[in-house]
Structure 1
């Protein structure tokens, strides 16, 4: 014989699932998210040429806010555009440049568009994966005080970059319209840095940044 208490509990659980508020997205919906992100470069650096052929640079992590918007073209396919800017420093690793520490800093603006696949339409927990393209602009490049003291007034320029992006994440319902979001991206970014120095002439270094971007935040279905 079926336990009446078990039957009642199961019925209540089913009703709760049916009436619990969900924030799932449908075709035509717009999802707005605000995240805190950490951009962690996975850099590979060439030598600093021509003056320092045995020396390379490293790039620090950065934590900043980010805003993104996703338009659901169908129940399962969405297009996300992120807007964020982060500041990074490039430092010498060894030798002469290593003794200087930070060599230059720059702000990075990497708008990235991804096409996402959302396999679960009506669940309280909705994972997604995505792939897309990125354009990265470097701006407000500045030499460090240590570099200027060593080689005199210096101008820094870093070239813009096009690259591919990959993404995975999950939305978890908090209410009918609000949800918690976890997201991770890989973004292909590279740049050619040029330092026009007074004492050491023009120095060049190629840096493949290729950062991992980890984000957590709150989203809203509009």
Structure 2
């Protein structure tokens, strides 16, 4: 919980965004593009199907870019681009090294307007690519690239006509099959950041 609170404080203090949306827009008068630069905290909620063992995946901090296209004043699509490195271990058993995740995510959003505040909710799809694997104590590990779903909620606060602050929370429903070298069966590991 402390990591989540710390991440929210970081987002509020350091994440500035460029805004293509005008502060006052009508249904026919709005800009279609919005670009953000954010600092993310990725906090996995690991689970696994390995009997008698618990997989632990580290929290990571990373920069993130996203691009939002507005179909109209309220409905938009957001493409999220970031990559993170996570340490992986089976608690008190084995160091599984680290793995990089590239999880491009496309969300469909609905934006509300309340003066300088613009809250939004979204849902979408994610495709995670695993790369840069260091297997730690094992000879080799293979992580299967996978599709997942995402939910998000956030709010933009206008500082002026071009800049705003953003606070955003996302949940990815993400699982992968992990196979050690020479094994005939894989283990399903839930990452769910």
**TM-score band (shorter)?**
0.7 to 0.9
Q: Which runs of 5+ in 2 are unaligned?
A: 1-21
1:108 is the counterpart of 2:101: yes
Shift of 1:123: 2.2
1:205 is the counterpart of 2:190: no
Which residue in the other structure is 1:59 paired with?
A: 57
1:134 is the counterpart of 2:116: no
Which residue in the other structure is 2:41 paired with?
A: 38
Shift of 1:43: 1.2
Aligned equivalent of 2:175, options 182, 190, 194: 190
Shift of 1:56: 2.9
Following the alignment from structure 1 to structure 2, what is the Cα–Cα distance between the partners of residues 131 and 24? 26
Shift of 1:177: 0.8
Shift of 1:203: 7.0
Following the alignment from structure 2 to structure 1, what is the Cα–Cα distance between the partners of residues 117 and 63? 24
Aligned equivalent of 2:147, options 147, 162, 187: 162
CA gap of 1:32–1:134, structure 2 versus 1, over 3 A, is same
Shift of 1:196: 1.2
Task: Render the CA deviation track for 1:86-134: whole Å, top value 9, x for unaligned.
Answer: 001111114xx2xx4x2121000000000110121x7211100001111
Query: TM-score, normalization: structure 2?
Result: 0.81
1:176 is the counterpart of 2:161: yes
Instruction: Provide the aligned C-alpha RMSD in A.
Output: 1.9
Q: Are the aligned partners of 1:134 and 1:165 in contact in 2 as well (CA < 8 Å)?
A: yes
CA gap of 1:24–1:207, structure 2 versus 1, over 3 A, is farther
SS in structure 2 of the partner of residue 70 of structure 1: strand
SS in structure 2 of the partner of residue 181 of structure 1: strand
Following the alignment from structure 1 to structure 2, what is the Cα–Cα distance between the partners of residues 55 and 174? 49
Aligned equivalent of 2:83, options 82, 85, 89: 85
Following the alignment from structure 2 to structure 1, what is the Cα–Cα distance between the partners of residues 140 and 96? 11
Query: TM-score, normalization: structure 1?
Result: 0.71
Following the alignment from structure 1 to structure 2, what is the Cα–Cα distance between the partners of residues 80 and 203? 37
Shift of 1:160: 0.9
CA gap of 1:210–1:81, structure 2 versus 1, over 3 A, is same
Following the alignment from structure 2 to structure 1, what is the Cα–Cα distance between the partners of residues 142 and 24? 45
Question: Which gives a bigger RCO, structure 1 or 2 (Cα 8 Å, sep 6+)?
Answer: 1
**Displaced runs of 4+ in structure 1, greater than 3 A?**
22-28, 201-204
